[in-house]
Every structure is written in structure tokens, then in C-alpha cells.
Structure 1
Amino acid sequence: MDPHEPGPVPAQFPAEIQVGKFAAARIQEILALQHYIDQPRQGQLASQQVPRHLRRRAVSHHPNRLPRRLRDKHRQQKLKSDGQVAAKPTKRPSRRYRRRPQNLLDEYNRRQRTNVWLETHIWHAKRFAMVEKWGYKMADHPNDKHFRAAFRASAQSCLMWDRSYCNCWELKGPIETLMSQLRLLVGPDVSIEGSDLLGGLKEAHACVYQPGKYPLGVIGSVSFIWRPAETGKDHRTLWLWSHPSVYATLKSIFLNLFGLSRVESNEDTTLTDPPEKKLKKDVNASKMALRNVPFDRVPSYVDNQGIVTLNDLKDTLNRFRLVGPKVQMVLSRALQSSYIHEGQVNWREEVSKEEEQEQSEAWQEVSQHAPGEIQPRSVLSLITRDPRVLLPPKRDGIQFPELNVPTPCMFKAKSSIAKSMLWCSNIRDEVTQSKCPDHEINQKRSKNLVPGTPLALTEDESRVPVMLVQQPGTGQNHYGSGWDLVFPAGWGASMWMNLVFNGARVGGLREENHFLFERAELSELTRFPESEAGIHEANRVTEMLKTLHFRYPPDKRTNYLKLSVISPFAAPWPMLIRNYLDDDLARKKQTQDLDCSQFFVVRNPTTLKAIEDQLSHSAPMKYPSNEDLMALVPVKLEIIGKGTLGQFSMICCPNLNDSMDDPPQELAKEDKKLAARKALKEKHVQDKARLRKRWKDKKDRIVQMRAESTLNKTNPDEEAIERIKEEMCRLKEKREEESSTFNDKMNSLWLADATDAKNSSSRSIMGFVLEAGYSLHLGQVSGSGYVPLLALYEFSLTRGQQSRTHVLTRETNTNQYRWAKMTITHNKS
């Protein structure tokens, strides 16, 4: 039987029906059902028409928590209960409208007016913890991995971070004028006029000082590159890269040193006539709205004679740093040379075909070797393809082949290889402004018959001129060697994604500082404790550590008074040097009264080598000259056996009877400020109760006045009530002021009076550790810090014939001393 064929009618059903009567009856049932749905039972609100387990107390404030069919009725009931008339709801723009690129970019530009965003900010903000430093919004550390993964990348593969926050200065002028003035800013041990440097073949690093104040008045470190000279011209160009913390100081020095004044731009950016047609918004132009691109926006300064020019290239160049043994593989995938074809009408005509081919061959040679085998700080230029067309289909699955290291590297820096189009401002602007939109690249990629096939090089494809600067490593395995990648603005995000997809692991400020720690180097600001930026950073760290310490309750804090720790949150260099000078005055070896705040760090490698040689001999060291009495010597410590090091750990001079097998302990001292703290707290409790009672009396007086006026059926004296309220406000402010004063006094009673840093414990303090931790590279605890030269002299006298490399260290939260090996660090900057 066919299933679609109707079966027999059951016997209980009538054989036929009257359609009219049947439909009328059904209509009545449908209307009754609809009326029941529209008119719920008496007293049931829209919010009560859902099951009990779905009812929410906050539904009156958030109608969207109800089903969609009940939201309008709930809004009307809520307005009716408030005595209001339901207004016509305004349609809110959709999220897609609000997140359109033009609106989104305007919002981003508004948010970075206070702190500048790097071009890789959006990528970092989704994956990193962001911090505000030096006027930038910067990535501090990733949210997924600790620094151990970053160390593994720097030691075994490739680690990368964005250093575009460094400021670039461009100096132009006669070579003699530039050299004569720049010599005033560096020490006598720094050469800025070598053949490789003047030829633009290498980058150099130097420590900058106030003009003519060496070794005092340190500012910070800079790296500089000379533009390769053109034949028959002595007008040269120099790029100087500096840390953003010294931006204002360097700017002031350059202006005063060369006698420069601001050049006002004559460009009129106002629109006189309205546009005839509404054009599509340029996304690239919106991204560069807050940057000094094009070059006309760059702040320019010139001297009275118009010979020397200073251009502030801040935020106009990107600079990435890549370190690790696999850097060459990552860069060889991400940077592919683009050959120049004849007859092209663009900026590439200014580059000769021979030079570009020579640069391409040099890059092919360099790509076959580890970065540590290349000449240190060599400069190599290249014109690369659009990084967006070189993206691999996916990030994972990249295999790094072994480098062919047996063959020696034949690369040698030459002027033709170092010559770059980045030096030309008009070319940089054209490269930035001629970048094609991303959707065009995606359209070309979608037309490939086989997905993932690389796009072929065409004449209309964008080219990017880049500059590669080799960064040397340390040790025999060249740990930390790599390349710095410099390229124009506007290409930061595209180049970043290309490098990430080709296997580079990304780090932030924390990973960068830990990388420097593994290389036994201090961070940028810690290396200059006497500079203005270094002092500012030290004060910030001190306040942060104090806040964290006093956030704990008293019974959970470390009692530094019992542990004889005089300065747990800072390194008191002036006090320590003053203590050693006073001891010399007592021995009548020093008769001058010096300003110990004018201390400095010894950075001359020759001087450091001489100090190390004297310390290694059995004879006592020579007494420091008058110029070196306030000198600090950088040292490195490695724990021997058990123990650890922390920030501001003390470096102490051991006694002659101290045993290596049984390190000594600091005896616990009596807390002499305990009684003062108890008395201060009791007085504060009494004062606080007294002020509270006075405030309560004022409040009760107001209540009494209002009650009497109600009883007598008269109006209260509002003027008198206002006067009483003002007195209550003054009492409250006084109570808060006394509480703040009490907290400051109580906190000071938990710390020792800073008078004698040297003799604050049973072992004389020689110096302090500024950065310490467990070194994954060395496999042991190590740290870096400073020791006054006078302390080393006294240390050599105390130790006599015993080892002068072994010292005692003690952390700020323990009384246990630990043995450590001390070596002098040879600063390369």
C-alpha cells in the first residue's frame, strides 16, 4: 500500500463535516489562545513570564537578559512605573560600523596622543602586558610564556623585539665641524673617525657626556652610523640612535653645541577650497597622521650660517633586533632581494643595477653563516620585496636546516654594500606613501590556482629598502649575536608579521633585560647610575619597592633593623663613598673635602684592565689619584656553592678567619625603634579617637537642632548648620592629614637611619648588586653591580696574600653570608 495514500476513516469520526461551522469554532479557539498569550495572568510582569531558574534580579537594569519577545514589554512596564512616556528608541550604530577601519584608526590616533604607540602595538596588545614608559606604550612581557622560553629562543633559534622606541638624530654638515664638536661629547678612548666608521661600513657605540666634563656628566649611550661618503664631498651625514630617556637632554646639548635654532615649516596645510568629491579615506595616511612623515613634518634645526643641520627623525624609522643562531634562516626567508629592471619610473632608478646586485650577492653569502661569524657591527644594505607577499601559509611547521659552517665567510664590508636608499628622505617618504593596501595583496593571492603558492615578482610590487647592522655576541659560542633591521615607517606591522610567521619568537622589555643579564650586562639605565635618567629610574624603583614592602602587615614584613640592612631599596653610592673618604681622612691619607654626589663609573677599558691587574697581584693596589677617588668599578659576581643574589644585595669584605666551608652569619641586632613605634601608635590612636569624638559631637549637634525645630514647628537655622558642616569637613581633613603623617613617621621607624653604609654590619660593605638572578646561560646564580675604587684599595690591603677574587655577599632579607667570585666587568660602551 502506498504510504501517501489516505487510509480508512475511523468509526468514531463522522463521515462528513460542515466546513463553515468547523472553521468558526476553530477561529474562536485561536482568538482565545492569542488573548491568553497577549494578556497574561493578573499581576504577572514581563520579567515574571520566564521560568524561575531564568529570572534575574538585575533584569530591570539590563533588559537584554530577558528573551527577545519580552524585552519591549519590559521596557514599557519599567517606563510606566517611573511615570515616563516611552520614547522612540534610537537605533545604535552596529558594531561593524563602529569598528570600520576609518573610525577605528581615528580612535587609535586619539588614544596615543599622550603615549605614542609603536607600529607593532596592536599585535603586542593582544598578547603582551603593556606598560607606559618614556612617552611610549610598550610591551613588557608575554602573557603565555616566561623568560625561560625567550632564553631558549636566544640560545637555540631566534628571539626578536621591537626597538623602534629609540630616537634617531640626523646631523649634516662639514666633516671637520661635526668631528670637532662631537669629540667634546665622548671620552678619549672612543674613536669616531676610523676608516670603517667614516666610510659607513660599521656602526659604533659610545658613551656620551656633557661637553668637556669627562668623566663626569654622563648622559647615556648612543650608537652612530656615518653615511657613505660621495666622491669629492666633505659634507657628511651622521645618524645617532639614543634611548628615549635621554631625548630631551641630548636635544638641548645638540642645540647649544652647534648653535642651532628651529626652522619653521612654510608648508600650508589648510584647505582653502572644499573637495569637489568625497574621496575614500587613505588608511596608510591615517596611520601616519601622528608621525613625522613625510619629511616636511620632521623638526629641523640649523645654525646661523646654514652649515650644520639637525633633523629629529623620531618615530620615522623602525628598528627590530633579532638574536640567536637561527637568525640567518629567519631573515633569509623574510628578506628576499628584488632585482631592478631598466625603464622603471620611480625611486629605484637612483640605484645602479651593479650596486643592487652586489648587495644581493653579499646577502646570499651572509645567509649561509651564523651571525657570530660576520664582522662585528658591519652594515649591509638591501632592497627587499614586499614582506606581505612572502608570508608562509602557516607559522608552525618551519624546519631550520643546519648552517654550512665549515666554509669560511667571505663577506667583507664595502662602501657599495653599505650604501642605502634609507639616507634619502624623499625615498623614505615615497616608500611609506606608496604602500599598496592589504586587500590588493590578498586579491592577488586569491587568484593563485594552488593556495599557498608564492606570488611572482612584478614591476608594480612595492620594494622596501632596509639596513642590516650586525650585533656581536659574547664568549666562544657568540651568544647573543644577531642583526638589527632598520627600514622606513609604515612597514612595521607588515615586516613584523613576516618575521613572526617565519619562526622568530617575540620578547618584550622583560625579555630584553633578561637577555642582557645572560650576557653579564646591565640594563640601559642601570649602566648609568650617575646620570639624570639613571637617578630618576633608581628613585622610581625605590618608591615602588617601598610601596610593596609597606603594603604587607607589620608581622609579615622583613625587619631590616634586626638584620642590619641600612638601605634595602636603593644603593647609597654617595654615602658609601663618603664613608671610605672619612676613613682615609682619619688615616690622614686624604685632605680634600669632595662632593660625593659627583661620583662616576669607570668605563675606560684600559683603566679597568689596569685595576684588574693590580687586584690580581699579591702587592697592595696603588692609592687612587684625586680624580679617581669617587670612581665606581663595575663588577660581576658568581655564587660559589649554595646561596642566591637579589637586587641591592650587599658585597662585603670577608675577615681573615672566615671559612669557605662555613660562611658566617650576621648576628641579630636589637630593634631600638620598637618602643618609639609603640608610643607613636598609642598617641595616634588617642588623637584619632579625640578627632572622631569631636566630629561625632558636631554631627549630633545638627541632629539636635533639626529635632528641636521639628518639635517647635519652626524652620532650622540653616546658616548655623552649614557652619557646623564646614567644621566637620575641617575635622575630617585634619584627621586624614594626621593619618598620612603617622604613616610616614611609622614607615621611617621601620628603617635604619642612613648615616654609615660601610660599617652598618659586622663585615665592611664594599658595594651593592643592582641586577641578579639565576643565569640559565651559566647554570648558576650571578649578578652585576658596582664597587667604589677606594673599597677595592682597602680590600687589597685587608686580604693581603689571600685570594682577592672571593668576597662575601648577603641579601637584604637574610642574615646569612654567602661566598662569591668577583671579577671586574670590561664595559664595551
Structure 2
Amino acid sequence: MVTNGSKAGVSAAPPHELTVWKFAEARAPELESLHSILADRLDNNFQSQKNKRRRTTGHDDRVAKRKFKRRKAGVGDMCKTDSERKDESKVSRRVRRNIELKKNPPCGFGTSGDGTKRLRTHVWHAKRFTMTKLWGFHVPLGLNGRGKGSRALLKKLKNGVLVHDASYYGCVQLEGPEDALLLVLSSVLVPPPSTCCEGISHDILAGHISGTAMLHDSGKPGFSPIAPVTFMWRPQQRFSTNTEGFNIDSFHIIQNINDGTASQLWVWIHAAACEEAYAALLSACERQTGITGPVNCISREGQLEKLELIGSKVFELMQKTLLPTSCSENSYHQKKCVADRDDDHGLSEETSILENGNQIPSSAVISLVVKDPRTLTKKGNVIIPEGKPLGLLSYEHCETKEQSFSSLPKHEAECVFNYGDLWDANKGVSPPVEESILCMEKHQQRKEFICLGSKSSVSQNAIVDGKYSRVCPVMLLKNENHEDSVTRWSIILPLSWVKAFWITLMSNGAHAIGLRERQWVACEIGLPYFPLDFPDCNAYSHFMAVEAIAFNHKATLRPHSKMPLQVPIPPPWDCVRFNFEERLSKAGNSHSGDSQAELCSQGDKIDNCHGVSFDGIIARTSSMLSDFLNNSGNHLLLFPKLRDQKSRLYEFMKDKEFLEKNAVISEPKHGNTRCYLRVLLRACKEGVFEQGAVVCAPLVTDIMLWKSRSESDEQQLQIPQSLLKSYFMQSPSGKWELQIPEDLALREFYRWPIGFITTGFVRGSKKATAGAVCEASLLSKLRVEQWKALPVRQRRKETYVLVRNMRSTAYRLALATIVLEQEEEDITFL
């Protein structure tokens, strides 16, 4: 320890500045001796050898000198016109693009030359992902490569965290009286919020939880569906964040702040249907305005960002990156939290929200104000203090205390209390502190640690003028999950803060995914994926049209001998309608063998069916399926799972005499709207089901043959190779036609289609399942035939179906599980 001679025991701190020239003068003799030694060895030739020079142009400064001369000449030349000066000062596209992408405006997306929008994380994704143009955005399709890697992705899903930038989602804000907003939602949403149970409906209206539903266009006949949406109300009543327990009771009222003002509502919509959905909501609001009063419909596109976190370690990642600075309460409760807080219990109440994440109910909405995640150290939620420097040994290992509101600057405390959540963020949210300022602060802190230099005032000046902020309002949305599904959270934050959170999430172990990997995750969890699993929406038709164009373009690049078999994209759903009408015409024939024989005998009279757009409805709630059963006489063997009624599936399945009592199971009347159901398919023994594969109705003999066949037996049901290319034929108009074979020998291998697979298997999954959409009455007909043919002990709640990939000749036996018989609603999507 260095001591002062005049005052014994008093340590002298090292100087704040070091003068280099004094150091050089003191070491001058040593430097001269070293220079003389090197000069003798090199014979006074200090020029580098040509064979050891790096073959670069870094030493050539002629380009820089030329630019300097042009710039100097441009300043002195005052006689040139404005256009000439503009041409001379034009910089390269690379420089202009880098400057544009580095900007961080408070709102709005950057656009390319053709008007396609770029995400704020576009540069990060473009370096690592395959980018594609969809829905007006440059979106990441997937990791670079051949589209594989699903097995590694499933491991990360099980043991890590996956993050997806969903900035392309659109947000529409509705404002008006609460009764008027409920009427608007009831006219366009299925199911409407009013049909929920009293407790859930109260929590949704109070803003405690969010809701999901299908958005329909009420102005068109038939209420055509548009897209699944997630909606949430602005909280009128806050909830407590007590650490004693975080359950649904914690969402009860603390203080009613409803002062009779207009309510606000957010509706989150996928970019594939954002314009159509906004037009439907605007039309519904205009119709309601003329009845009850003004209802405003405002688009919040380009203001809010949505990040999706999926995986088993989501809570650990959120605890590392999200550090709350205030309670999510009203101003009175916030001030009470500040008054009761001491240095020892800094943020115990706020951090309890993330610590007790497993106890948070599904669809919960939590509003927080968090600190800039870039200021957190890598060793946990520790912020380097701006006060006195720590000792050399205790700087890395001591536990620093968090800053309270009293230690925050005045402008930051006002920021916390002014917009405690994102609902007021439309008035303007300050962007985060620039990276260069943070780097300057960290550099200054290191200098202060070793007692060099003085404290810089750059960051303080940048913050005092209100341009930047160190706190950010966020909204945490726990997506609805089932018992066996993985944890899924969504983080909603201002668009200008995306880069700050994204880089921090990546640094803490999150794995980014694109659209392809997101579809794999949805299939693994068993959730529908928009728009592939929604063939009744216009977004599905547009997406499949783009897929067809891309596939045809890729096929034309191959030689004619190696071109793949052309298959219908999208699948010809009209073929299912044709099968439905044939079933109705032969409703009296209950035996499957007779039906097949009659099909063969009448094959010459059957016209080819054309593949057109999806015709029918998809029942995504138990109430919709119940209405369909009531309209068809309620004699179909379909058992929707209702809230107040137990499913009678097992009761009928174990009954020995009910099929004899009701020998004839009636079919829906001819001309009724066809109803489709989403089913999950699982292969019985072998097979990989691809997207677009056709789901067919098996005969009872096919099932018996499959169940009796041993694993070593290679005999299997398949169509001839000659029939594969003519199974679906494309007409000159572009429509696909289902061809019925004229040869009676070939008709024995033909099976009627009842649906198509919308989401194929995920390779590497231990519970490989595929999602399909099948016709409801045909599924009921198959269940009747199979229950009659099988003994009571061998009856299953699943239905046996046959699946054939479009480019394969083999039929694979699979078990189809109807989703609405397992869950009350099938509107939760990914």
C-alpha cells in the first residue's frame, strides 16, 4: 500500500491521468538500446519483406485521399447547381442501407424498395436465416440449409427456450362504451365473450386474462371466418402481486378505478389476415356507432411488438432479462409500494411475479415496467451501480443492491408513473439509450474503477433532454396451455425496444426460430397453425397459391427426367364434398362391402369432381358441433365435450345393445352445410404423413387385414403405379379433378377421400402426430361401421382411417382423434 510521507497511515490514490511523454523520457535509454540492436540485425532496413506482406489493400490510402479531395473541392465550389452537388454527395447503396437499418425510430417499420416492410431484427435474421417475402414483410423462413434440423429443435424445446419475433402481427384498438364493445365482439367473434362462464367472462372484462376466438365477417352471408384472434381489455381493476400465492384469487379487486370513461380493447391478428380483419372490425364499429354511440377502431400497427417465448426454461430466461422497477398497480398503490420499500427488500414484491410463474393461471395478462435489459450483468439480475467504485476484490463477487425510486433520476420516476403500462404508450414512449452511450458509460465505469479519468456527463445530458429512457413498459401474456403442453409466453413491448430485448434474450441462451420451426412446434404441441390448419379462411388460399407458384418454379429448374410428380396445391377439397353426396345417395346401404360394390357398379355414371375452394364450415367449438348435430337429427356418433355435460363417448362405446337398437344411424339431410372437424392422426405401425396427404375411409376388411398382419409380412394395401399419376388430373383451366378408374380391377384399390392433412409429421418426434381436417358425418359413418364389426372390448374412441401421401402408392393405417371430443374449444393457435 502506498502511503503519504507527511501523514503516516494515509493511503495515496493513484493519479487520475498518466502523461505518456514523461514515461517515454524515463525509458529513452532503454528504447535507444533496443533500436540499435534491431538496426544491427536488419542492417538498418526496417521495410517489411515482400514475400511476408499481407495481400490486402489496407495500406493503400489512395481511395481515402481521393474522397477527401472531392469533399474539399465540393465545399469550395459554390457555383455548382443543387442537382450537381446532390450527384456528387450520393453515397453507395450499402452505406445508405446500413444507415437506414441502424435507425431506431419510435414507431413504424422500415421498407425496402418495393415497399416490403422489414422487422426491427431484420439484420440479425438476415445473417442467419433464409428470408422470404410474405404478408408484406421480410420474415425469417427458417435456418439456412435444406429445411431440416427438427430433431435438434425438439431437444431445445424440451431443455431450453425458443423465441420468435412476431412483429408482423397486427394490433387493432377498439374504444367506446363497454356495452357497445361487447355488442361489436358478439357480432364478429365466435364464441363471443358473453358465452363464457361468469367467472371467466368477469376476468376477461376486467383485463386480468385474455381471450381467443375466431373472427368472422358479419357483413357477409354465412359469416365467413377470417382468422383466429387474441383479444384483451384494458384493466379497469388491478390485481395484487403478493408472494403468499399467485392464483386466480389474486386477480380480485384491490381498488376500483373505473371512472366511467370509455373502455379500450386490443385485438391481435396475424399479418396474413390483418387487412381483412381490420376492415371487418371497422365495419362492425360503424354499424354499432349508429345504434349505441361512437365506437372507434384504430390500428396500432408499427407501434407495438410481440415476442413469443416457448420452452421449458421460459421462467428462468424471464428472470434473467426482465427486472421490474415498479408495481403494476394504480398510482396510489405504486406510491405505497415505494414508501414501504427499504434497501433490504428492494424488489421482492415485483420479482415475485416471475418467481411464482408456475402458479399464474392460463391466459393471464401482467403489466410491468422493467429496466433496460442491457444494463444487467451476466451473473444475474445485478445492475452496476453508478455510485462509488467498489474495491478490487469485491467488484465481481459482491451482491449490489437495486436502486429504489428515490435513487432514480427525476425524469425516470416520472416516466414510470406516467405510463405504467402500454395502453398509454400511443402518446409516445422514449426509445432506449443508444448502444454507443451505454458503451461509453461502461468504459467510464472501468476507468473510475482503476481511478483514471473523471465521470462522463454524456449519458446524463442525453437523458435529461427526454430523448432516451432506461425503463420500458411491457405486457406479459401467458398463452393458454393444457396439461401436457409446454410453457408459452408472449412479451408485448414498444417497437423501438425490440433490439434491446432481442439481443439480451439471445445472449442469455434463447434460440431463435423462423416460420418453419414455428410450424414444427405447433405440430409437436398439437395446436393448429395459422394459416395452414384453417382452410376455411381466405389467408389459407392466398398462402397455398404462393406455395404452388414457388413449387412450380422450383420444378421447372430441374431436368425433365428428374422433375417431381405434380400434385394439387392446395388439396382438392371438393372431392370430399363429392364423397359426401355419394354417401347421402347410398345412406340406406349400411354394409360397407355392399357400398363398395355399388360404387364399382355405378362408377361409369360418376362424373369427375373438380378441386375448388373450401366449401363448408369447420366446427372449432363444442357448441358449433352441438348445433350441427341438432340440425342433423342428433343421430351421429359424435360426442362434443361440453362444460356442463359429461361426454357420453365411453357410455356408448361399452354398450352392447345400442347399435342393435339403433341399427340405422341417420345421415344429415341432403343440401345441409358440410361440417368439418380437426383431427390428430397417429400411425398405427409405420408411416410418415406429409402435408397435403389424402385421408381415406377404410373398409372393415382393410382393418382386419392390418391387425392380423405380422411385422415381417410385407403385404400392404396400395394402388398401382399407373393409377398414381392419374389419381388427380389437372384440367386446362387449372382445376384438379379426382379420376374414378374405369377398370373394375383397379377400383378394388380405390378408397374414398374424407379429408386432407394440413400439418405433417415432425421428423424426430417421439409422439409423431399429424393434423388433418375431415368431414364430420363421414367420420361418424366410419365409427358406426367399425363399432359394429369389432367386439366391445376392441372398440376405441379413435377412428381407423387410411392415409396416403400424394407421391406414394401405399396406404397407411392411422388412428384419428377428434379434438373437440378431448377439448371444449379448438381455437387456441400458435
- Please say whether Structure 1 and Structure 2 have the same fold, judged by a TM-score greater than 0.5: yes
User: Would the aligned equivalents of 1:393 and 1:452 in 2 still touch at CA under 8 Å?
Assistant: no
- Aligned-pair identity in percent equals 20
Task: Call closer, same or farther: CA 1:176–1:604 in 2, change over 3 Å.
Answer: same
- Which of 510, 523, 532 is the matching residue for 2:529? 523
Task: Call closer, same or farther: CA 1:351–1:315 in 2, change over 3 Å.
Answer: farther
- SS of the equivalent of 1:641 reads coil
Q: For residue 775 of structure 2, what is the aligned residue in structure 1?
A: 788
Task: Call closer, same or farther: CA 1:313–1:239 in 2, change over 3 Å.
Answer: same
1:373 and 1:765 map into 2 onto residues whose CA distance is 45
Q: For residue 811 of structure 1, what is the aligned residue in structure 2?
A: 805
Q: For residue 687 of structure 2, what is the aligned residue in structure 1?
A: 643
Task: Call closer, same or farther: CA 1:312–1:103 in 2, change over 3 Å.
Answer: closer
Q: How does 1:466-485 map to 2 (within 5 A)?
A: 466-476=474-484, 479-485=485-491
Q: For residue 160 of structure 2, what is the aligned residue in structure 1?
A: 157
2:775 and 2:449 map into 1 onto residues whose CA distance is 61
Q: For residue 225 of structure 2, what is the aligned residue in structure 1?
A: 218
Q: For residue 774 of structure 1, what is the aligned residue in structure 2?
A: 762
1:351 and 1:487 map into 2 onto residues whose CA distance is 23
- SS of the equivalent of 2:682 reads strand
Find out whether 1:138 has 2:139 as its counterpart.
yes
- SS of the equivalent of 1:331 reads helix
Q: For residue 816 of structure 2, what is the aligned residue in structure 1?
A: 822
User: Would the aligned equivalents of 1:158 and 1:505 in 2 still touch at CA under 8 Å?
Assistant: yes
Q: For residue 167 of structure 1, what is the aligned residue in structure 2?
A: 170
1:814 and 1:222 map into 2 onto residues whose CA distance is 37
User: Would the aligned equivalents of 2:323 and 2:351 in 1 still touch at CA under 8 Å?
Assistant: no
2:422 and 2:134 map into 1 onto residues whose CA distance is 29
Q: For residue 27 of structure 2, what is the aligned residue in structure 1?
A: none
1:351 and 1:99 map into 2 onto residues whose CA distance is 48
Task: Call closer, same or farther: CA 1:379–1:146 in 2, change over 3 Å.
Answer: same
Q: How does 1:435-584 map to 2 (within 5 A)?
A: 435-449=432-446, 462-476=470-484, 479-549=485-555, 552-557=558-563, 568-584=568-584
Unpaired runs of 5+ residues, structure 1, are: 4-49, 52-62, 73-89, 262-301, 341-346, 396-416, 561-566, 590-594, 678-743
Q: Cα offset for 1:169?
A: 0.7
Task: Call closer, same or farther: CA 1:627–1:151 in 2, change over 3 Å.
Answer: farther
User: Would the aligned equivalents of 2:185 and 2:192 in 1 still touch at CA under 8 Å?
Assistant: no
Q: For residue 249 of structure 1, what is the aligned residue in structure 2?
A: 276
Unpaired runs of 5+ residues, structure 2, are: 1-32, 34-49, 66-86, 237-256, 382-415, 451-455, 590-611, 627-637, 642-646, 654-658, 821-825
1:429 and 1:547 map into 2 onto residues whose CA distance is 47
Q: Cα offset for 1:602?
A: 1.0
Q: Cα offset for 1:125?
A: 1.5
Q: For residue 375 of structure 1, what is the aligned residue in structure 2?
A: 361
2:170 and 2:264 map into 1 onto residues whose CA distance is 16
Q: Cα offset for 1:314?
A: 0.3
Q: For residue 121 of structure 1, what is the aligned residue in structure 2?
A: 122
1:67 and 1:171 map into 2 onto residues whose CA distance is 61
2:473 and 2:290 map into 1 onto residues whose CA distance is 31
Q: For residue 336 of structure 2, what is the aligned residue in structure 1?
A: 354
Q: How does 1:367-406 map to 2 (within 5 A)?
A: 367-369=354-356, 371-390=357-376, 392=378
- SS of the equivalent of 2:701 reads coil
Q: Cα offset for 1:756?
A: 5.7
Opposite residue 605 of structure 1, the aligned amino acid is S
- Which of 201, 205, 208 is the matching residue for 2:208? 201
Task: Call closer, same or farther: CA 1:585–1:101 in 2, change over 3 Å.
Answer: closer
Per-residue Cα deviation, 1:326-369 (whole angstroms, up to 9, x for no partner):
111111111112259xxxxxx99798323689996554223334
1:201 and 1:419 map into 2 onto residues whose CA distance is 21
Q: For residue 421 of structure 1, what is the aligned residue in structure 2?
A: 420
1:635 and 1:97 map into 2 onto residues whose CA distance is 50
1:519 and 1:383 map into 2 onto residues whose CA distance is 31
User: Would the aligned equivalents of 1:518 and 1:775 in 2 still touch at CA under 8 Å?
Assistant: no
1:337 and 1:530 map into 2 onto residues whose CA distance is 43
User: Would the aligned equivalents of 1:372 and 1:482 in 2 still touch at CA under 8 Å?
Assistant: no
User: Would the aligned equivalents of 1:320 and 1:484 in 2 still touch at CA under 8 Å?
Assistant: yes
Equivalent pairs counted in the alignment come to: 597
Opposite residue 139 of structure 2, the aligned amino acid is M
1:101 and 1:180 map into 2 onto residues whose CA distance is 48
1:377 and 1:524 map into 2 onto residues whose CA distance is 19
2:534 and 2:783 map into 1 onto residues whose CA distance is 26
Q: Cα offset for 1:575?
A: 2.8
1:188 and 1:96 map into 2 onto residues whose CA distance is 51
User: Would the aligned equivalents of 2:227 and 2:277 in 1 still touch at CA under 8 Å?
Assistant: no
User: Would the aligned equivalents of 2:325 and 2:350 in 1 still touch at CA under 8 Å?
Assistant: no
2:767 and 2:448 map into 1 onto residues whose CA distance is 49
Q: Cα offset for 1:769?
A: 1.1
Q: Cα offset for 1:578?
A: 2.8
Task: Call closer, same or farther: CA 1:222–1:68 in 2, change over 3 Å.
Answer: closer
Per-residue Cα deviation, 1:129-187 (whole angstroms, up to 9, x for no partner):
11111111111212388333332222112111111111011111011111112101122
Q: How does 1:609-624 map to 2 (within 5 A)?
A: 610=639, 617=652, 619=659, 623-624=667-668
User: Would the aligned equivalents of 1:372 and 1:473 in 2 still touch at CA under 8 Å?
Assistant: no
User: Would the aligned equivalents of 1:227 and 1:237 in 2 still touch at CA under 8 Å?
Assistant: yes
- SS of the equivalent of 1:179 reads helix
User: Would the aligned equivalents of 2:151 and 2:763 in 1 still touch at CA under 8 Å?
Assistant: no
2:307 and 2:211 map into 1 onto residues whose CA distance is 17
2:183 and 2:292 map into 1 onto residues whose CA distance is 17
Opposite residue 610 of structure 1, the aligned amino acid is F
1:184 and 1:628 map into 2 onto residues whose CA distance is 23
User: Would the aligned equivalents of 1:466 and 1:485 in 2 still touch at CA under 8 Å?
Assistant: yes
1:464 and 1:384 map into 2 onto residues whose CA distance is 5
1:316 and 1:746 map into 2 onto residues whose CA distance is 47
1:657 and 1:419 map into 2 onto residues whose CA distance is 72
Q: For residue 44 of structure 1, what is the aligned residue in structure 2?
A: none
- SS of the equivalent of 1:367 reads helix
Task: Call closer, same or farther: CA 1:807–1:424 in 2, change over 3 Å.
Answer: closer
User: Would the aligned equivalents of 1:636 and 1:824 in 2 still touch at CA under 8 Å?
Assistant: yes
Q: For residue 619 of structure 2, what is the aligned residue in structure 1?
A: 602
Find out whether 1:754 has 2:761 as its counterpart.
no
Q: Cα offset for 1:201?
A: 0.3
- Which of 705, 708, 720 is the matching residue for 1:668? 720
1:104 and 1:515 map into 2 onto residues whose CA distance is 30
- SS of the equivalent of 1:657 reads helix
User: Would the aligned equivalents of 2:731 and 2:737 in 1 still touch at CA under 8 Å?
Assistant: no
Per-residue Cα deviation, 1:734-770 (whole angstroms, up to 9, x for no partner):
xxxxxxxxxx98998xx97435699895222222112
User: Would the aligned equivalents of 2:680 and 2:817 in 1 still touch at CA under 8 Å?
Assistant: yes
- Which of 180, 185, 194 is the matching residue for 2:183? 180
- SS of the equivalent of 1:773 reads coil
Task: Call closer, same or farther: CA 1:351–1:669 in 2, change over 3 Å.
Answer: same
Task: Call closer, same or farther: CA 1:569–1:172 in 2, change over 3 Å.
Answer: closer
Normalised TM-score (structure 1):
0.63
2:668 and 2:193 map into 1 onto residues whose CA distance is 23
RMSD: 4.8
Q: Cα offset for 1:113?
A: 6.2
Q: For residue 10 of structure 1, what is the aligned residue in structure 2?
A: none
2:555 and 2:150 map into 1 onto residues whose CA distance is 25
Bigger shift: residues 102-111 or 169-178: 102-111
- SS of the equivalent of 1:447 reads helix
Task: Call closer, same or farther: CA 1:220–1:98 in 2, change over 3 Å.
Answer: closer
- SS of the equivalent of 2:769 reads strand
Task: Call closer, same or farther: CA 1:755–1:579 in 2, change over 3 Å.
Answer: farther
Normalised TM-score (structure 2):
0.63
- Which of 674, 692, 697 is the matching residue for 1:630? 674
Q: Cα offset for 1:393?
A: 8.5
